Amino acid sequence: RKEVEQDPGPFNVPEGATVAFNCTYSNSASQSFFWYRQDCRKEPKLLMSVYSSGNEDGRFTAQLNRASQYISLLIRDSKLSDSATYLCVVNMSWGKFQFGAGTQVVVTP
């Protein structure tokens, strides 16, 4: 079993719609969680951290469920510019970051 698993997609989303996807992790001792965004042929960039209480940043909402060992990302009112691959990242320990394979989102006009 992979340490961090994601649905690869693609999720084809009409502009203005809502899309949500999850990421599961295997190590229950994982300390912190993040969503990174990676555009085609570009480097990953931090989108948002994920806190136990859930957190929101504009149209993006992230949630953590420690009991079931998954995190989620929801994008509301999708924009064409949201088209990207979203990487789930888990901080295992001592600054060791484990990346998922990514979920591709394609927003269509």
Partner 1 sequence: EAGVAQSPRYKIIEKRQSVAFWCNPISGHATLYWYQQILGQGPKLLIQFQNNGVVDDSQLPKDRFSAERLKGVDSTLKIQPAKLEDSAVYLCASSSRTSGGATVTGELFFGEGSRLTVL
Quickly tell me which residue has 């948002």 as its tokens: 48
The whole-angstrom separation of Cα 8 and Cα 10 is 6
Site for partner 1 in 23-62 (CB under 8 A): 31-32, 34, 36, 42-46, 49
Q: Which of 43, 39, 8, 5 is nearest to 24 (CA)?
A: 5
Shortest distance in whole angstroms from residue 77 CB to partner 1: 26
Nearer to partner 1, 18 or 31 (CB): 31
Strand, coil or helix: what is 81? helix
Contact 61, 74 (CB under 8 A): yes
Site for partner 1 in 73-102 (CB under 8 A): 87, 89, 91, 93-102
Chain positions contacting partner 1, by CB under 8 A? 4, 6, 8, 31-32, 34, 36, 42-46, 49, 87, 89, 91, 93-102
